[in-house]
C-alpha cells in the first residue's frame, strides 16, 4: 500500500512525485517509457517556473538551458514582427529536463515502474487499485493522474473530451544551424525582412503557415527545437509528413529556409496526434489530475510546461493536507478543483481563442498589421496567457 500512485512521468508527474516523497510519503510513479526520451514539445519554458524548478534542485545552467527574451511572429506570407518578452523564458530539451527531474526523484526515494502502463484505476472503500499492463496491481490512498494529453485511461473513464475527435497533430525535430557549405547570407530582421542567420539564441519564433504554426527556439548544445501544430487534414492531403512540409510549411519563406538549410538531427520526427484543447475536469473518478490531463493550453502560448509544473506544486500542497488528515476526501477534491480553475481556466480560454487567429491566412496577416499598428496589444495578449512567477519554495524543503 503506497500513500500515492502517480500515473505518468512527464513534468507534472515527476514534480509531484518528488515533492510528495520529500514530504515523507511513499510514492510510486508509473511511466510507460524509460528515461531519457524525446517528446513532442516546443521546449520553451516560461520563467514563471524557473526559480521554483531550480529550488527543487535542477541545475538549469549546468544542463545548458538558453535564456530567451525576444519573440518573433511571421504570417504565412512571411511578414515578420518582433517584440520583447516581458517575462521571458529558457530553452531546454525535454530529454534533458525530464531526465534531471527523474534523477532527483530517484535520489529522493520515489519508486518507479518504468516501461509499464497503467491499464485501469479502481476506487473502492476509500482507496485505489491501479492495474498495470503486466500482472502487477498497485494500491494507494491517492492517485495523481499526470498522464498527459491523451491516454487509454481517459477512454476508460469516458472523459468528456474523448467524445469529440480532435483535428490536431504535433511534429517535432531537433536541428542545428546552417549546413556548413550552404553559405547563407547574414540577414538581419527588417520590416519585411528575413530572419537573422544563424538564428539568434535569445529568440522564440512562431511562424504561421496554412492551418498551423511552427515554433523555433534554441536549446542546449547549440541545437534548436523546431515543433509545429497542424491538422490531420493537411497531412491526409499529402499522405506523408515530408511532402506536407514541402507543400504547406514551405509557403512561409522563413520556414522554407530553415528546412532547406538546417541540419535535422533525428532519423524521423517525433509525432503525436489527436491533440485536444477542450476543457477537462481537474478531478475525475476521485483522481487528482495534474498537467495536460487536467487541461492543455494551446502551444502558441508557450506555457504548458510551466502550467504542468505549477499544477504539480498545487496538487502536492493539497495532497499533503489530505494525507496529514487535515482535509477529508470531499474537501480535498473540492479545494483542488476550485484552486486549479482559479489559476488556469482563464489562460486556457484565452489560449483557445487566440489560436483561432493562427493558421488562418487572412486572420494572421491581419493580426500582423494590427500588432504593428498597436504594439502593446501583443504584450497584453501574452500577459493574459501567463501567470506570476511562482515562489521559489518547494512544498517540502530539500533535506539538509
Ligand X SMILES: Cc1cc2nc3c(=O)[nH]c(=O)nc-3n(C[C@H](O)[C@H](O)[C@H](O)COP(=O)(O)OP(=O)(O)OC[C@H]3O[C@@H](n4cnc5c(N)ncnc54)[C@H](O)[C@@H]3O)c2cc1C
Range 100-129, binding ligand X (CB under 6 A): 117-118
**Nearest C-alpha neighbor of 139 from the set 128, 126, 152, 125:** 128
Segment near ligand X (CB under 6 A), from 40-48, 237-245, 319-327, 375-383?
40-48
How far apart are the C-alpha atoms of 389 and 363, rounded to whole Å? 32
Segment near ligand X (CB under 6 A), from 8-16, 280-288, 337-345, 385-393?
8-16
Segment near ligand X (CB under 6 A), from 39-47, 188-196, 342-350, 376-384?
39-47
Is residue 8 a contact point for ligand X (CB under 6 A)?
Answer: yes
What is the pattern of x (binds ligand X, CB under 6 A) and - over residues 219-238?
--------x-x---------
Nearest distance from C-beta of residue 71 to ligand X, angstroms: 12
Range 263-282, binding ligand X (CB under 6 A): 275
Closer residue to ligand X (CB): 3 or 98: 98
Closer residue to ligand X (CB): 12 or 28: 12
Closer residue to ligand X (CB): 41 or 382: 41
Please pick, from the candidates 3, 13, 141, 336, the single residue that binds ligand X as defined by CB under 6 A.
13
How far apart are the C-alpha atoms of 352 and 332, rounded to whole Å? 29
**Nearest C-alpha neighbor of 369 from the set 84, 85, 79, 83:** 79
Please pick, from the candidates 7, 85, 138, 203, the single residue that binds ligand X as defined by CB under 6 A.
7
Contacts of 168 (CB under 8 A, 6+ apart): 229, 230, 231, 232, 273, 274, 275, 276, 277
Phi and psi at 265, nearest 5°, equal -95, -15
Nearest distance from C-beta of residue 14 to ligand X, angstroms: 7
Range 179-218, binding ligand X (CB under 6 A): 215
Find out whether 375 and 35 touch, Cβ atoms under 8 Å.
no
State how far the alpha carbon of 238 is from the alpha carbons of 138, 233, 246, 248, 252, in Å: 45, 9, 10, 9, 17
For residue 185, how many other CB atoms are within 10 A of its CB?
Answer: 6
Segment near ligand X (CB under 6 A), from 48-56, 188-196, 296-304, 345-353?
296-304
Closer residue to ligand X (CB): 92 or 367: 92
Reported in sequence order, the residue ranges of the chain that DSSP labels E, i.e. its strands, are: 2-7, 27-31, 44-46, 66-74, 80-91, 111-114, 118-124, 127-132, 137-145, 168-176, 203-209, 212-218, 223-231, 263-264, 270-275, 283-284, 287-289
Please pick, from the candidates 3, 19, 31, 220, the single residue that binds ligand X as defined by CB under 6 A.
31
What is the pattern of x (binds ligand X, CB under 6 A) and - over residues 297-316?
--x--xxxxx-x--------
Is residue 387 a contact point for ligand X (CB under 6 A)?
Answer: no
| CA 69 to chain CA centroid, nearest Å | 19
Range 130-159, binding ligand X (CB under 6 A): 146-149, 151-153
Segment near ligand X (CB under 6 A), from 1-9, 50-58, 75-83, 276-284?
1-9
Contacts of 167 (CB under 8 A, 6+ apart): 231, 232, 233
The verdict on whether omega for the bond into residue 391 sits within 30 degrees of 0, i.e. cis, is no
Q: Which residues bind ligand X (CB under 6 A)?
A: 7-13, 30-33, 39-45, 117-118, 146-149, 151-153, 170, 215, 227, 229, 275, 291-292, 296, 299, 302-306, 308
Amino acid at each position: 500500500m503506497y500513500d500515492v500512485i502517480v500515473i505518468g512521468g512527464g513534468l507534472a508527474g515527476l514534480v509531484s512525485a518528488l515533492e510528495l516523497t520529500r514530504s515523507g510519503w511513499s510514492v510510486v510513479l508509473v511511466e510507460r517509457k524509460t528515461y531519457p526520451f524525446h517528446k513532442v514539445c516546443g521546449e520553451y519554458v516560461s520563467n514563471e517556473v524557473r526559480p521554483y524548478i531550480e529550488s527543487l534542485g535542477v541545475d538549469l545552467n549546468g544542463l545548458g538551458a538558453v535564456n530567451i527574451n525576444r519573440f518573433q511572429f511571421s504570417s504565412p506570407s512571411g511578414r515578420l514582427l518582433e517584440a520583447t518578452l516581458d517575462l521571458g523564458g529558457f530553452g531546454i530539451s525535454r530529454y534533458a529536463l525530464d531526465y534531471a527531474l527523474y534523477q532527483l526523484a530517484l535520489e529522493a526515494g520515489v519508486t518507479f515502474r518504468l516501461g509499464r502502463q497503467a491499464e485501469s484505476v479502481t476506487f473502492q472503500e476509500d482507496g485505489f487499485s491501479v492495474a498495470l499492463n503486466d500482472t502487477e496491481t498497485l494500491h494507494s490512498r491517492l492517485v495523481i493522474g499526470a498522464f498527459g494529453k491523451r491516454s487509454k485511461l481517459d477512454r476508460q473513464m469516458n472523459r468528456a473530451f474523448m467524445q469529440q475527435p480532435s483535428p490536431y497533430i504535433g511534429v517535432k525535430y531537433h536541428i542545428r544551424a546552417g549546413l556548413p557549405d550552404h553559405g547563407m547570407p547574414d540577414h538581419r530582421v527588417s520590416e519585411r525582412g528575413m530572419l537573422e542567420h544563424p538564428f539568434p539564441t535569445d529568440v522564440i519564433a512562431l511562424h504561421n503557415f496554412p492551418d498551423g504554426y511552427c515554433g523555433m527556439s534554441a536549446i542546449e548544445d547549440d541545437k534548436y527545437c523546431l515543433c509545429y501544430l497542424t491538422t490531420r487534414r493537411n497531412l491526409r492531403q499529402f499522405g506523408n509528413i515530408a511532402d506536407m512540409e514541402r507543400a504547406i510549411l514551405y509557403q512561409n519563406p522563413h520556414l522554407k529556409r530553415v528546412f532547406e538549410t538546417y541540419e535535422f538531427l533525428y532519423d524521423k520526427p517525433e509525432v503525436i496526434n489527436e491533440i485536444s484543447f477542450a476543457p477537462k475536469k481537474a478531478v475525475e473518478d476521485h483522481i487528482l489530475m495534474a498537467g495536460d490531463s487536467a487541461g492543455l493550453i494551446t502551444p502558441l502560448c508557450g506555457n504548458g510546461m510551466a502550467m504542468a509544473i505549477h499544477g504539480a506544486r498545487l496538487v502536492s500542497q493539497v495532497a499533503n493536507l489530505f494525507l496529514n488528515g487535515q482535509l477529508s476526501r470531499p474537501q480535498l477534491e473540492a479545494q483542488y478543483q476550485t484552486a486549479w480553475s482559479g489559476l488556469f481556466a482563464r489562460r486556457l480560454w484565452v489560449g483557445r481563442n487566440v489560436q483561432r487567429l493562427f493558421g488562418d491566412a487572412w486572420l494572421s496577416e491581419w493580426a500582423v498589421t494590427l500588432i504593428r499598428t498597436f504594439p502593446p496589444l501583443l504584450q497584453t495578449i501574452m500577459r493574459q496567457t501567463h501567470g506570476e512567477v511562482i515562489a521559489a519554495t518547494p512544498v517540502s524543503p530539500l533535506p539538509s
